[in-house]
Amino acid sequence: MGLKNFFNTELKCSICGKTLKSGDEITAYLTLPSVKKMPVGRMDKVLSKHSDKVCCKKCSE
Ligand SMILES: [Zn+2]
């Protein structure tokens, strides 16, 4: 996996598929991992990899 792809992970709403970007309000459902596996890094990357579901504001209302 190249660096470019690594940083271009898109975060999308699980319901409507809208691409979420900076400034958007989101609701994320996460399973809290064990301390040893606690994800660190860019928020969007972590969310796209570890969240069970991510919703845009519209879909979470
Ligand atoms: Zn949505």
CA of 56 to the centre of ligand 1 (A): 4
CB distance 39 to 1 below 8 Å: no
Q: What is the DSSP letter of 56?
A: E
Q: What is the pTM of this model?
A: 0.67
Give the model's pLDDT for residue 2.
46
Measure 10 CA to ligand 1 centroid, in angstroms: 14
Structure tokens at 24: 């958007």
Tell me the per-residue pLDDT of 12-55, one tens digit each, with 9 for 90 and over: 899 999 998 889 999 999 888 888 888 888 888 888 888 889 99
Nearest alpha-carbon partner for 48 in 4, 6, 11, 3: 11
Query: Distance (Å, rounded) from C-alpha 36 to C-alpha 11?
Result: 24
Centroid of ligand 1 to alpha carbon of 34 (angstroms)? 29
C-alpha of residue 6 to centroid of ligand 1, in Å: 24
Q: Domain segments of the chain: what residues?
A: 3-60
Q: Are 41 and 50 in contact (CB under 8 A)?
A: no
